[in-house]
Amino acid sequence: MQIDIFQIDAFGDEVFTGNPAAVCPLNTWLPDELLQNIAQANNLSETAFFVAIEDKFQLRWFTPSHEVDLCGHATLAAAHVLFTHLSYQKSDICFVTKSGELIVTNKASGLVMDFPASMPTPVLAPEQLLLGLGIKPKAVSAAFDYILELEDETAVQTLLPDLALWKALDLRGVVVTARGTDVDFVSRCFFPKLNVDEDPVTGSAHCELAPYWSQKLTKDNLKAKQLSPRTGLVACQLSGERVLLKGRAVDYMRGQITL
């Protein structure tokens, strides 16, 4: 059996920027164990698999060790594959996922994803969270990740967390953030319990960060930058209980998996 595989740099304008994701279109679902083995072999933060169901696509995401409920950059990459390589003709794609139906729209300015917003709320920080951070945060909140606001962009950029201490935290991961100098806010995202120490550009984290910074900055349209070594730009627009995330994607590699 052969399976097509695409490696796409999502939230990037050129190769070696943004966040790499593998995308595997399938005719029917394979056993979960096989999907997980493929994701482990790819060794990227996420591998996306999708199957056409009438006029929609069922979409699932796997890290090298777990299936996850929501992934932004691999959704962007899957939409890019459909629009660019698989002759999808409509302007909107509806993905059916564990987080509900996600719509991706193809526009001249980029791909726009319609995702559920999740407003972080203040929490008492677990001791492991603060010890792993190593510096005093400005604020601690949580949604499906811990959100740590730091003093400024430099503090986010230079942070060297102790990821071993964050591996046993109860939430998905840790997102550090601060106001930006040339954008509205910056961030870095760490998911050691998913075997993804630092994710290059994390669409799903902006479902938490956009409402957080929208409330602080009293604006609904936000420009964001993730300060990983690869870096990536995410345009965010808050719309009620939804957040629109816009970005571009570029091809890195295309091939076939032989099983």
Q: 14, 33, 46, 153: which is the annotated catalytic residue?
A: 46
The DSSP symbol for 26 reads E
Based on the fold, state whether residues 81 and 10 are members of the same structural domain: yes
Based on the fold, state whether residues 37 and 93 are members of the same structural domain: yes
Based on the fold, state whether residues 69 and 145 are members of the same structural domain: no
Which residue, 251, 245, 256, is CA-closest to 75? 245
- Residues 169-192 have pLDDT tens digits of 999 999 999 999 999 999 999 999
Based on the fold, state whether residues 145 and 231 are members of the same structural domain: yes
CATH (domain of 172):
3.10.310.10
Give the model's pLDDT for residue 191.
94
Based on the fold, state whether residues 234 and 127 are members of the same structural domain: yes
CA torsion 117→213→196→144, rounded to 10°?
A: -40
Q: What would the mean pLDDT of 86-107 be, rounded to a whole number?
A: 95
Based on the fold, state whether residues 110 and 141 are members of the same structural domain: no
- Asked whether the predicted pLDDT for residue 47 surpasses 90, the reply is yes
Can you say whether the dihedral through the CA atoms of 155, 161, 165, 171 is positive or negative?
A: positive
Residue-level length of the chain: 259
Contact 103, 87 (CB under 8 A): no
Based on the fold, state whether residues 102 and 147 are members of the same structural domain: no
Based on the fold, state whether residues 254 and 172 are members of the same structural domain: no
Give the model's pLDDT for residue 102.
94
Average pLDDT of every residue of the chain = 96
Based on the fold, state whether residues 91 and 164 are members of the same structural domain: no
Report how many domains make up the chain.
Answer: 2
Residue 196 pLDDT level (bands cut at 50, 70, 90): confident
Based on the fold, state whether residues 130 and 231 are members of the same structural domain: yes
- Asked whether the predicted pLDDT for residue 4 surpasses 90, the reply is yes
Asked about 46 being catalytic, the answer comes back as: yes
Based on the fold, state whether residues 159 and 89 are members of the same structural domain: no
Q: 96 is in which domain, residue-wise?
A: 2-114+246-258
